[in-house]
Structure 1
Amino acid sequence: MAESSFSKPADTESDLNYTQDIRQMMHGFGDSSEPLLESAKIIEDVVLQQMKTIVKRACEIADRRVGSKKNNIINGEDLIFLLRKNKVKLQRLLKYLELKELGISVQKVMVNDVPQNVMDSEQLDSTKRKIPFQAFLEQIDNTGELLENSSTMDEIKRRRCIRADMATRSMDEMRYIKYSRARRVSFANKNRYKFSEWVGLDGDITLSKQAFAILSYLAYETVAQIIDLAFLVRQDQNKMHGDAIDRQRLNYVNPFTYKPYYHGENTNVTKAFTPSEINEALRRYWSPQLDMIGPFNRWSMRRSNLKLLSL
């Protein structure tokens, strides 16, 4: 049963899609072990439109970059610049890039078979606190907030970790193996040219290696954000009244009052998110009433995909 999951349908018309990968990502973010294909297609369409919009904005930044010859090469700095107004999401991206670089360095050491005691301690100290794109961030950080080493809690990331902890407590070995495989699926693990072709990059637009890593991360983060919003929709649909501890048995909990031992006997199986739940989550996110000026904003009827989920 576990091995037959996420199998591609026989009438698949093209390999240039990420529907099955997105189904696994949905499961990794807390959806059912068998996410609905219709829901995954909706998310895929949204992610694709969002990535095209991000690429368009990055191209505009690249054209204005100092020293740019308008050769339509998108660098990592162009995408980092788009995140400058959201410190939490920027720090989340930098941590991802830092761990990615650490993994690459560990693989090099394992391939070269270098003993651990041979590495210079000064070299370790110099790379230990290396921040990706630090020089660029220092140039655009006028207030000092972006590089500030504060103890700001990433509540969204913490909620995702709690949800994953609650989901795995009632899993057997086979379900946990399937879940762990789903957690490893991402856009970055796939062919770089397939991702570029899927996004629809023109022949004149190219992504640098760092830009590809960041853009694939933003696509992955968009899927995660949609699932987060879908959980909020389901929470409103399934409001529980009564004891506070009973309410904590759901998959969405208050991270500040979460206590793992309350969920030790939880065997609740998450139902697959329906297309209506996904659409309602997106409708709420793009609703003009949630804009700063509300429905009286003259730009309230702008295209919904301009409000980016990952930025």
Structure 2
Amino acid sequence: MVSYFTIDAIGEVTNFQKEISNMMHGFGDNPNPNAATVVLVENIVLQQLRLILQEALNNSNMRGGKAISNYDIIYLMRKNPMKLKRLHDYQIKLDQIDKNRSSVSGVPTSENLISNIIMEDEKDPTIKKRRTHIDVIREIDEFSEVSQFKFDVIDYLRKVRAAKITESMSFEKYEAYHKARCSSFRSSYGLGKGFVKLERWINPNKELKITLMALEILCFIAYETVAELVDAVFLTRQDAKKKNGDPYSKFEGGHFCNPVSLNNAVYIKSGYEGVPAITVAEVREVLRRYFSPRVGMNGLFYRNMCQDLPVRFIAI
């Protein structure tokens, strides 16, 4: 497996293999993920982010923007209200974390700094307040579809899986698992240093101008891409358990079941030692199912359809 790592203008190699390995473990993979699978997932995430940047750049050029902003990326997510809801809640959690951190350390957050700048320049009518992710989502969500989601089933199923994995862990193993769950594509929590590595990874030659808030959304999308791939692998494993003549065979310890029962909530044995590492073949099967053309009645007409199909994004 060849790794398509990024080399910036200085010649420094940038990759997220260690972070992705921890994320896969945190989402339910073996504590020692397959190295070839990690490289494949990294390549998928990088390709997805660069495709998103290309589409966002087109949106930015159409509206006459000077840089790719959070609006250009959220606009690509407009047809998926569930993902917009997850991004909305993600922003609320980040704001709460920053507020708690600033109250403990006394260091002002980016929101406080921005608000102070705006207050000083209030007399200038040309100064506009920067729109947050929540502001953009409310602007795009004309029919209030995002606010209608009261229950995040994706987050719930992942938490149930984590509860199943950790129910028989020792303290040392749980500590390592907790660190894996905290992994992300942010390099630090500083005001301007949090996405330096991510920007160097997706924009090594500085060809694109990307705002800090746009990088924050790309960080969220990259994290969700890894999570979606791992979730889909468990679904394919569930389908592999189906037996001819027994329509309920795949639900024996499957991913979807009675949410009251934790014993059958995920396709994972008690304790993470029983989880086989995700293989390259399983990830490729997930991609085949995701990007394959429609089947069923519509599939009869697929060969007569135009081959210029729109780009699909795993996380949005």
Class of the TM-score when normalised by the shorter of the 2 chains: 0.7 to 0.9
In the superposition, the TM-score normalised over structure 1's length comes to 0.77
Structure 1 position 212 matched with structure 2 position 215:
yes
Structure 1 position 74 matched with structure 2 position 61:
no
> Shift in Å at residue 204 of structure 1?
3.9
> Shift in Å at residue 30 of structure 1?
0.5
Distance 1:95 1:199 in 2: 25
Q: Percent identity?
A: 29
Distance 2:279 2:39 in 1: 11
Q: Secondary structure of 1:74's match?
A: coil
Q: Name the residue aligned to 1:104.
A: 98
Q: Name the residue aligned to 2:60.
A: 62
Structure 1 position 260 matched with structure 2 position 265:
no
Distance 1:198 1:262 in 2: 39
Asked if 2 retains the 8 angstrom alpha-carbon contact of 1:249 and 1:266, the reply is: no
CA RMSD of aligned residues (A): 3.2
Distance 1:42 1:109 in 2: 41
Relative distance call for 1:290 and 1:196 in structure 2 (3 A) is farther
Structure 1 position 298 matched with structure 2 position 305:
yes
CA offsets per residue over residues 181-201 of structure 1, 9 Å max, x none?
Answer: 100111023562321121135
In the superposition, the TM-score normalised over structure 2's length comes to 0.76
CA offsets per residue over residues 45-72 of structure 1, 9 Å max, x none?
Answer: 111110000011111111122xx3x42x
> Shift in Å at residue 35 of structure 1?
0.4
Q: Name the residue aligned to 1:136.
A: 136
> Shift in Å at residue 15 of structure 1?
4.0
Q: Pick from 141, 155, 163 the counterpart of residue 161 of structure 2.
A: 163
Asked if 2 retains the 8 angstrom alpha-carbon contact of 1:229 and 1:282, the reply is: no
2:276 is aligned with what amino acid? K
Distance 2:296 2:140 in 1: 27
Question: Which consecutive residues of structure 2, in runs of 5 or more, have no partner in the other structure?
Answer: 1-10, 109-130, 189-193
> Shift in Å at residue 260 of structure 1?
3.1
Distance 1:151 1:55 in 2: 28
Structural mapping, 1:161-240, within 5 Å: 161-189=159-187, 192-200=195-203, 202-239=205-242
Asked if 2 retains the 8 angstrom alpha-carbon contact of 1:188 and 1:217, the reply is: no
Q: Name the residue aligned to 2:152.
A: 154
Q: Secondary structure of 2:32's match?
A: coil
Relative distance call for 1:246 and 1:284 in structure 2 (3 A) is closer
Relative distance call for 1:245 and 1:201 in structure 2 (3 A) is same
Q: Name the residue aligned to 1:288.
A: 293
Q: Secondary structure of 1:185's match?
A: coil
1:178 is aligned with what amino acid? A
Question: Which consecutive residues of structure 1, in runs of 5 or more, have no partner in the other structure?
Answer: 1-12, 115-130
Relative distance call for 1:36 and 1:260 in structure 2 (3 A) is same
Asked if 1 retains the 8 angstrom alpha-carbon contact of 2:25 and 2:31, the reply is: yes
- Greater Cα offset, 136-145 or 173-182: 136-145
Q: Size of the alignment, in residue pairs?
A: 272
Relative distance call for 1:193 and 1:266 in structure 2 (3 A) is closer
CA offsets per residue over residues 127-168 of structure 1, 9 Å max, x none?
Answer: xxxx9534433433332323x3x2443322221111111111
Distance 1:201 1:262 in 2: 45
1:266 is aligned with what amino acid? S
Asked if 2 retains the 8 angstrom alpha-carbon contact of 1:58 and 1:82, the reply is: yes
Relative distance call for 1:220 and 1:165 in structure 2 (3 A) is same
Asked if 1 retains the 8 angstrom alpha-carbon contact of 2:84 and 2:137, the reply is: no
- Greater Cα offset, 102-111 or 88-97: 102-111
Relative distance call for 1:249 and 1:207 in structure 2 (3 A) is same
